[in-house]
Amino acid sequence: MSTTLTEKSVEPGTGRSLLRGMPWLVVRQHRVALACVLGLTLLTALWIVYERHELVQLLDAKGWPENDASRSMDNNRGYDYITGIINGFPLILAVFIGAPLIAGDQENGTAQLVTTQSASRLQWLIAKLGLAYSLALVSGVVLSALFTWWWKPHRSLFLSDWIDGVIFDNTGPVLPALLLFLTAAGITIGTLVRRVLPAMVITFLFTAVTTLFVWDEIRVRLGSPKMFTYPLDSELPAARFDDAYEADRWVGSADGTLYGWGTCAEATEKAQNACIKEHGIVNNVIEYIGYNQMAGMQWLGAGILLAGTALLTAVTLWQVSRRPL
């Protein structure tokens, strides 16, 4: 495309572009990354639309929900690939967009070039952060909306539970918030490290640890578990807890004392009965988080992530404004 540039394109004001000033510069500088992320978002979005269409056709043919269609989502390769791509988005945005965003300019000296023109350092930073955050937000909102639209009406057919990361993190407000948070983390790490490659490696590790371990721990703590008690010799009313996430399972005595589920798991039935009698155990107790808590948990989680994003943004702004670039 550069070969088609005419001399006129050098003159300001004659360009047909909608973008001017600093936004033009950051879009021009990051246009390849921008196109890649938006392209991947679009492809994934179209794929979700296609898979949902296929599923609806299949269910119509089976006469769902009147007839059983419980195995419709089994061995669904499309679902595996799509969730794989969506789960990769935090990594892509944090490592390839966030980490080099400021660090790249610091390493190449172009931060100095841009901030010694007539625009202030803050204007530059706002344009940079605006670009990265918009990208995270657009990808997150589009993919989350479509994935929710695919999953929610058919959730009983999906093999993953709503509390699983693959559903919880990819629907509702969580995905955009998660993308924003990890992008901000990448930018902050880049600003502190000031070199692209180390920043990318550290951001990769940070993202992996956060999404694989830390967030898993936080997710189940977002809800407030409820207890359900039923007699030892009866069955759990399973239909009621179809959608619930079982956090823990106990046995309890008549006075409400709880014992671990395996307290009386003895080798012989005789020993087991003796144990039950000894502790006065009469009830089974399950601790669960109902599906009705999901929306609240998602907004709480998104709120935490957005607060983290705000904090990281403040650190970046503070760092860049007080240290030489």
Partner 1 sequence: MADTTTPNATSGSWALEARGLGKRYRRGWALRDCSFRIPAGRICGLVGPNGAGKSTLLGLATRQVQPTTGELRVFGVPVDDPAVMPTFAFLGQDKPLFKRFTVADTLRMGAELNPGWDAAAATRIVRSGNVPLHAKIGTLSGGQRTRVAFALAFGKRPDLLLLDEPMSDLDPLARDEMSTLLMAEAVERGTTVVMSSHMLTELEDMCDYLLVVSEGRIRMAGDADALVPAHTLVTGVSRDGSLPPELDHHTVVETRLQGRQFQAMIRPRGPLPAGWESAEPSLEEVLLAHLRSPDAPSLYTQGARVEAEGNQAA
Candidate ranges 12-20, 200-208, 225-233, 257-265; the one touching partner 1 (CB under 8 A): 12-20
Is residue 312 part of the contact set for partner 1 (CB under 8 A)? Answer: no
Residue the block writes with tokens 């948070």: 181
Rg over alpha carbons for the chain, rounded to the nearest Å, is 26
The bridge status of strand 226-231 relative to strand 258-260 is unpaired
Report residue 230: phi and psi, to 5°. -145, 155
Longest CA pairwise span in the chain (Å): 95
User: What 3-state class would DSSP assign to 75?
Assistant: coil
Q: How far apart are CA 290 and CA 55, in angstroms?
A: 26
Report residue 79: phi and psi, to 5°. -60, -45
Q: From residue 74 to residue 113, what is the string marking binding to partner 1 with x (rule CB under 8 A)?
A: ----------------------------------xxx-xx
Minimum distance between the CB of residue 193 and partner 1, rounded to whole angstroms? 18
By beta-carbon proximity to partner 1, the closer residue of 14 and 67 is 14
Candidate ranges 11-19, 33-41, 232-240, 265-273; the one touching partner 1 (CB under 8 A): 11-19
Count of residues that interact with partner 1, criterion CB under 8 A: 32
Among 18, 67, 77, 118, binds partner 1 (CB under 8 A): 118
Amino acid type, 74: D
Residues 26-55 that bind partner 1 (CB under 8 A): 28-29
Is residue 16 part of the contact set for partner 1 (CB under 8 A)? Answer: no
Minimum distance between the CB of residue 15 and partner 1, rounded to whole angstroms? 7
Is residue 302 part of the contact set for partner 1 (CB under 8 A)? Answer: no
Minimum distance between the CB of residue 96 and partner 1, rounded to whole angstroms? 16
Cβ contact 283:252 at 8 Å: yes
Cβ contact 59:143 at 8 Å: no
Q: How far apart are CA 181 and CA 113, in angstroms?
A: 29
Binding footprint of partner 1 on the chain (CB under 8 A): 2-3, 5, 7, 9-12, 15, 20-22, 24-25, 28-29, 108-110, 112-121, 322, 324-325
